[in-house]
Amino acid sequence: MGNGLRTQARRVLLQQVAPAYHRALGSQKQQILGGFVTATGYVRKYAQWLLNHTEEVFAPPTALRRRYGPEVEEALVLAWKTLNRICSKRLIPFLPSIVATLEADGHLELNEEHRGLLLSMSAATADRLLQAHRYTHPHGLSTTKAGPLLKQQIPIRTFAQWDEAKPGFLEVDLVAHCGGRLEGGCLYTITLTDVATGWTECLPLLNRGREAVLLCA
């Protein structure tokens, strides 16, 4: 396989590249495939198979599905979507309360056996069961990234020292709803997260211009 990426990095890259590969046509598809081969070190035919069978690659093992069954997997997916697709380590502690709420509101029906399997599930098992579903809901495309070099080289005076333990210190991100392509216009979401409390506010933007940003504030 040459000097390509490590296994986990290859899997992450496959998840990121596959949606664009499926949408692409002709020479663009070949260009994406070539870049994937170069980055991973895979043989071209194998890389092409991976890109065309991503759902199979990330599907949980048959034995795992057989043990938990579709009822437990569907209940897990419903709870995961209800909690805004959070990671499994954060999802598992909330499962008892969210399952009880979904059952009380008539959105979920589980027998004792299935409920026991769901509530005793580990974060690693939940990760494996959710892999295929995460592929169908890829992350939004961020059009911003941190610039630590400038922050280190240029002293910036603020109204207070940064303190992650106190509410009021925010991290801000801009997400483009563009289907994976930034050509042309698209809508944006500006996301503000309080580092200490985790409280998050999402505001819509028509574009990245100054007037649109001030209008949403």
Which residue type does 152 have?
Q
Is the same domain home to 104 and 69?
A: yes
Q: Is the dihedral of CA 75, 76, 77, 80 positive or negative?
A: positive
Q: Is residue 123 part of a domain?
A: yes
Is the same domain home to 102 and 150?
A: no
Query: Which residues span the domain enclosing 160?
Result: 141-216
Is a pLDDT exceeding 70 seen at residue 153? no
pTM reported for the whole predicted model: 0.45
Q: Is residue 182 part of a domain?
A: yes
**Confidence (pLDDT) at 1:** 43
Is the same domain home to 72 and 126?
A: yes
Last residue of a domain, one of 136, 166, 183: 136
Name every residue whose Cβ is closer than 8 Å to that of residue 39 and which is 6 or more positions away in sequence: 4, 5, 13
Mean per-residue pLDDT, 166-187: 79
Give the CA count within 13 Å in the CB-facing half-sphere of 174.
15
- Mean pLDDT comparison of 85-89, 111-115, 174-178, highest-scoring range: 111-115
- Mean pLDDT comparison of 110-119, 138-147, 148-157, highest-scoring range: 110-119
Q: Is residue 1 part of a domain?
A: no
Q: How many domains does the chain have?
A: 3
Is a pLDDT exceeding 80 seen at residue 159? no
Q: Is residue 153 part of a domain?
A: yes
